[in-house]
């Protein structure tokens, strides 16, 4: 029986403002039911500080039923931590292959790559980013969580710097998930920073965007 081909990710991108060859790449991973265009809206603000950076926002591999124009990294019928871990593990090879191809195409190494996610995209960034053999430049996660009961030490292959940002009024991914992720990353010795925005729901506010810009600019040097 022939195996089905691995899905190929694609989505909108924003070329370096300098007009030249990129010296780094920021990959923006959208949330459940959204698409790449949504997160690519971060790029114009960050591009002012990173004129030689390529910004790419791939659409997740599966269409999301009930969300016209939306995609999902995996279905969210079951929100248990075990099911979230299984979903992220299933989607991970597709994202890893995309990252490998992207870096090879532009002649860049992992230390010139930042993974940025929102919600389900943050779950993917954390899942994939810490399991890559070579450390990425950084992981930036908004309104997300670790997809699983914990982060197993034997699954971690590299420890890039991480910034997590969350709203304390988030009704979708409660702020307790942020605190759990921070404590897991601290336990395993990651360079971890965090910020909680007061009164913010499942969204990104100007403070979070600025913190993200500062973080990405710093880790890409």
CATH number at 81 reads 3.40.50.1820
- pTM for the full model? 0.96
Determine, yes or no, domain membership for 8.
Answer: no
pLDDT attached to residue 79: 87
Determine, yes or no, domain membership for 205.
Answer: yes
Is residue 203 classed as helix, strand or coil in its secondary structure? coil
pLDDT at residue 2 above 60?
no
Determine, yes or no, domain membership for 189.
Answer: yes
Confidence of residue 7 (pLDDT cuts 50, 70, 90): confident
How many whole angstroms separate alpha carbon 181 and alpha carbon 106? 32
Owning domain of residue 100 = 13-219
Tell me if 40 sits within 8 A of 10, measured CB to CB.
Answer: no
Determine, yes or no, domain membership for 3.
Answer: no
Integer CA distances (angstroms), 3 to 8, 61, 158, in order: 15, 17, 31
Determine, yes or no, domain membership for 167.
Answer: yes
Q: What is the mean pLDDT of the chain?
A: 95
- Structurally, how many domains does the chain consist of? 1
Determine, yes or no, domain membership for 1.
Answer: no
Determine, yes or no, domain membership for 7.
Answer: no
Confidence of residue 37 (pLDDT cuts 50, 70, 90): very high
Determine, yes or no, domain membership for 4.
Answer: no
Select from 166, 107, 159, 167 the least CA-distant residue to 138.
Answer: 159
End-to-end alpha-carbon separation of the chain, Å?
Answer: 49
pLDDT per position as a tens digit, 151-201: 889 999 999 999 999 999 999 999 999 999 999 999 999 999 999 999 999
């Amino acid at each position: 029986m022939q195996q089905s081909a691995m899905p190929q990710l694609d989505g909108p991108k924003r070329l370096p403002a300098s007009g030249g060859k990129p010296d780094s790449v920021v990959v923006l991973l959208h949330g459940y039911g959204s698409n790449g265009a949504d997160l690519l809206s971060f790029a114009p603000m960050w591009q002012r500080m990173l004129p030689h950076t390529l910004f790419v926002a791939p659409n997740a591999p599966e269409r999301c039923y009930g969300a016209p124009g939306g995609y999902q990294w995996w279905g969210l019928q079951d929100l248990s931590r075990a099911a979230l871990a299984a979903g992220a593990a299933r989607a991970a090879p597709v994202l890893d292959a995309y990252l490998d191809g992207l870096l090879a195409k532009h002649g860049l190494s992992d230390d010139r790559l930042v993974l940025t996610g929102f919600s389900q995209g943050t779950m993917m960034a954390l899942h994939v980013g810490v399991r890559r053999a070579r450390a990425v430049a950084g992981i930036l996660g908004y309104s997300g969580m670790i997809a699983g009961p914990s982060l197993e030490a034997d699954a971690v292959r590299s420890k890039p710097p991480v910034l997590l940002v969350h709203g304390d009024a988030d009704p979708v991914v409660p702020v307790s998930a942020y605190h759990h992720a921070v404590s897991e990353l601290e336990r395993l010795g990651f360079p971890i920073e965090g910020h909680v925005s007061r009164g913010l729901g499942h969204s990104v506010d100007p403070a979070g965007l600025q913190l993200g810009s500062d973080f990405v600019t710093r880790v890409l040097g």
